[in-house]
Amino acid sequence: MERASESSEPVLDAKSQVTSQLIDFQWKLGMAVSSDSCRSLKYPYVAVMLKVADQSGQIKNKFIEMTIPQFQNFYRQFKEIAAVMETV
């Protein structure tokens, strides 16, 4: 994803003490075809990497792997948030 541009929120914000900023979001759609425990697989998965920066500026990478149903749920939740943000 292209880098989101700087947010316009005021800097002095109590929440930023405990929250991080999402800097980047990378993803990959893959298929596991074999593993040590199962010779023949056809398991699609979505792998996501979130780059977050905490208050001190320290950047952390958070990796998440999801099954397709989990991804669909994940997507659905974001659409819900966006819909709410739209209406308030």
* Inter-CA distances, 22 with 8, 29, 34, 50, 76, Å: 14, 21, 33, 7, 19
Does position 14 interact with other proteins (CB under 8 A)? The reply is no
The answer to whether 1 touches 25, Cβ cutoff 8 Å, is yes
Nearest C-alpha neighbor of 51 from the set 87, 26, 77: 26
Among 33, 43, 58, 59, binds other proteins (CB under 8 A): 43
Does position 15 interact with other proteins (CB under 8 A)? The reply is yes
Residues that bind other proteins (CB under 8 A): 1-2, 4-5, 7-10, 12-13, 15-16, 18-22, 25, 27, 29, 32, 35-38, 40-44, 46-47, 50, 52, 60, 62-68, 70-72, 74-75, 77-79, 81-82, 84-85, 88
